[in-house]
Chain A
Amino acid sequence: MSDIAVSRHPLWWLHPAAVPKRLRGWVIPALLLLLWWAAFRFNWSDSALLVPISKVWQTAERLSSSGELWTALYASLRRDLAGFAIGTLVGLLVGAALGLSRLLEGLVGPTLNTLKQISLFAWIPLISMWFGLGDAAKVAFLSLAAFFPVVLNTFEGIRSVPPELIEAARVFGYRRDQILRRVVLPAALPSIFTGVYLALIYAWLATLGAEYLLTSGAGIGNLLTDGREHFWMDYVLLGIVIVGLVGFALNWIASRFEARLLRWRGHSTAQF
């Protein structure tokens, strides 16, 4: 039984077994890189709107050894995490308070539901007038971006805890604090996680938005702005690659975390 004797069907590469599952996600990025490389190798384009991969790589090396890249990345990640942390923390507290108290829900809910309809970017003028163009303004904007998904999903998660499970706990004489800690919290956790996960994504998207619109200081967004203004295509492309890689890394961390925390569900929200 040798492989040589087997004549392959002309469409064998469409068969599910042609590409192992783990590698499937890499097919399109690999093809795009190949296309990019080929465009220069075979002189398909001489437009200044595209630079060779090698040029981007060189720029990456140069900016990295000069420290510029790390300064920018550090500045972006720091404000991303600061905004994410503040927004998530406040979102968790407010969401839990609204979920546990009908009174608070009645008082705060309608206002919150109106505010969430306002496009995030519509806050930028207000925020820049209050907080200026520096880090404080950016972190405030990021907090807002992280706050809404967390508050809504936390509230929703607590409200949709099955009353049957609470009854089951009451049968075993659970006190109110025991019901909160051992029934409400774990039952609401998947929804809370969805909120925090969305906050992680929104905060990173908003980091770029904030750096782009509140231009001052360092950051990956500023790298992109510089590239555009000076028509440095390599800067722009490098910036995009880094933004994508960071997003990918954050998503990966979230999915690892979820797999550990919510393994009882047998499936996951965070995917890539």
Chain B
Amino acid sequence: MAHAGTLEIKNLNKQYTVKGEPLPVLENISLSIKPGEFVSIVGSSGCGKSTLLRLVIGLEQEYQGEILLDGKRIVGTSLDRGIVFQEHRLFPWLTVEQNVGVGLLNADLSPAQKKKTVDEHIALVGLKGFETAYPYQLSGGMSQRVAIARALVNRPEVLLLDEPFGALDALTRSHLQQELQRIWEAEGITAILVTHDVEEAVYLGDRVVVMQPRPGRIKRIVDVPLPRSRDRGSYAFSQIKDDVLSEFSDTPHSDVKLVTPQESLGANWQFAW
């Protein structure tokens, strides 16, 4: 099992320069994530949530403030951080097992160890039997499973997920959310999920960070003290979901709490597969 990382973001500010003018994207973000914690970040588009992930993974390096993993400042990309993008970004010329192995090119392992860990991760995401398939032969959901295996193959301390299920159909999405929860529990890893799907954020997160746009700031952090696996149809789940959703409407927070349990159940009832 991987060592889970502690991630600390302190007074993070990030700006782009557009036509000579500084454009703030992230403003004063501070967030402390415990080892093994699952944190969801929700926000409308343009709130800088993807930029935040790009900074943590190390694809962008210019910022003010501090991003610390286990107390050390993050510099560039590293095998101790893995990421799953919205698009699977598999290499179409490689098979499933080769794609998972892509992450191990610069890992300090013998070929036999690499083979073993690739096999383990293919099994972890439930793709045994598809080792020699090419990406064009896979469905969107299967491709994203491969992407998850690839992100985890180095046993990173932190797994970052940038709207990983955004492009999938509703059925596949809810199934993969369950799978992701199982994988996260099996690996005991720290995870940060960026999404615009509030239900997904509440279903998976120990905490849900609500961001607001222009510039991207943390508006509120909502705890999700529900046992796993969570029942999306339960009253408690709906309450938290409504609470988070209320941050996105102009309706005052107190009004949302007036919704009666019966109504809330009816309005949010859905199959719990």
Q: How large is the interface on B (under 10, 10 to 19, 20 to 34, 35 or more residues)?
A: 20 to 34
B135 surroundings in chain A (CB, below 8 A): 264
B137 lies within 8 A of A266 (CB)? yes
CA distance A191 to B173 in the complex (A): 34
A164 lies within 8 A of B87 (CB)? yes
Whole-angstrom distance between the Cβ of B140 and the nearest chain A Cβ: 16
A172 lies within 8 A of B103 (CB)? yes
CA distance A265 to B154 in the complex (A): 28
A172 lies within 8 A of B79 (CB)? yes
A265 lies within 8 A of B59 (CB)? no
CA distance A91 to B81 in the complex (A): 40
A172 lies within 8 A of B134 (CB)? no
B136 lies within 8 A of A171 (CB)? no
Q: Which of A168, A169, A171, A264 contacts B93 (CB 8 A)?
A: A264
CA distance A120 to B95 in the complex (A): 42
Q: How large is the interface on A (under 10, 10 to 19, 20 to 34, 35 or more residues)?
A: 20 to 34
Contact with A along B39-62 (1 / 0, CB 8 A): 000000000000000000111000
A136 on the interface (CB 8 Å rule)? Answer: no
CA distance A176 to B63 in the complex (A): 24
* Count of chain A to chain B residue pairs whose CB atoms are closer than 8 Å in the complex: 59
Whole-angstrom distance between the Cβ of A139 and the nearest chain B Cβ: 34
A262 surroundings in chain B (CB, below 8 A): 93
B102 on the interface (CB 8 Å rule)? Answer: yes
Contact with A along B94-106 (1 / 0, CB 8 A): 1100000011011
B77 on the interface (CB 8 Å rule)? Answer: yes
A266 lies within 8 A of B77 (CB)? no
CA distance A174 to B87 in the complex (A): 20
| Given A165-B91, A264-B94, A264-B136, also A172-B85 (CB < 8 A) | no
In the complex, residue of chain A having the shortest beta-carbon distance to the beta carbon of B87: A164
Whole-angstrom distance between the Cβ of B26 and the nearest chain A Cβ: 19
Q: Which of A178, A186, A265, A266 contacts B105 (CB 8 A)?
A: A178
A178 surroundings in chain B (CB, below 8 A): 105-106
A172 lies within 8 A of B93 (CB)? no
A171 lies within 8 A of B105 (CB)? no
Contact with A along B67-91 (1 / 0, CB 8 A): 0000000000111011101010101
Whole-angstrom distance between the Cβ of B195 and the nearest chain A Cβ: 19
CA distance A107 to B105 in the complex (A): 36
B102 surroundings in chain A (CB, below 8 A): 168-169, 172, 182
A182 surroundings in chain B (CB, below 8 A): 102, 105
A189 lies within 8 A of B106 (CB)? no
B106 lies within 8 A of A173 (CB)? yes
B103 surroundings in chain A (CB, below 8 A): 172
A183 on the interface (CB 8 Å rule)? Answer: yes
In the complex, residue of chain B having the shortest beta-carbon distance to the beta carbon of A167: B59
Whole-angstrom distance between the Cβ of A125 and the nearest chain B Cβ: 44
Whole-angstrom distance between the Cβ of A193 and the nearest chain B Cβ: 12
A265 surroundings in chain B (CB, below 8 A): 92, 136
Contact with A along B131-145 (1 / 0, CB 8 A): 000111100000000
Q: Beyond A172-B105, A187-B91, list 14 extra A-B contacts (CB 8 Å).
A: A164-B85, A165-B89, A168-B102, A170-B59, A171-B59, A172-B77, A172-B102, A174-B105, A174-B106, A187-B93, A262-B93, A263-B134, A264-B92, A264-B95
